[in-house]
Amino acid sequence: MCQPQQTPKRAEEHSGKKSIEELENWLKERLDVQQIPLTSFTEFFVSQLWNWAANHASNENTPVDPDKFQFVCYRLLDTARNAEYNQYTVCTHEPYIYVIFEKTADYLYSNCTKLDLELFAERGYSDADRRNNTFRFRHYEMCAGMLERHEY
């Protein structure tokens, strides 16, 4: 069953844009993870991942060079600490939950919607994002709202 196990933090607690490195640290402190190589994924998935990272909306004003991509991948281990996320493997039909960060394009992805939303909310936004009502700010608001309503 794919139901939430825990109430997420309120959206307002996550303002202030964090880097991919800070999000990696957040993930490692919060969950039991193991770094895995990008080659753990299918060639088709990796080609799509490169495309997503190069073209995601946060990059619309800052071109990125895919030749400089630095992907870092983690899988959640099968531990009690990770149970609330690992239950979603039933929904994903994949053997484990994973998180992929790309450091150059400031991109992240998880096959667990709840964890994906939490990472986006934790990343936050800058004052400039809020003032200019950027995609990052609007995406943050959407993700935080979905977490509050348990829409994952």
Please tell me the distance from the alpha carbon of residue 5 to that of residue 21, in angstroms, as a whole number. Answer: 27
Tens of pLDDT, residues 20-42: 999 999 999 999 999 999 999 99
pTM score over 0.85? no
Q: What is the pLDDT of residues 102-141, one digit of tens each?
A: 998 889 999 999 999 999 999 999 999 999 999 889 999 9
Cα–Cα distance, 109 to 117 (Å, whole number): 9
Q: Which residue has the tokens 């400031």?
A: 106
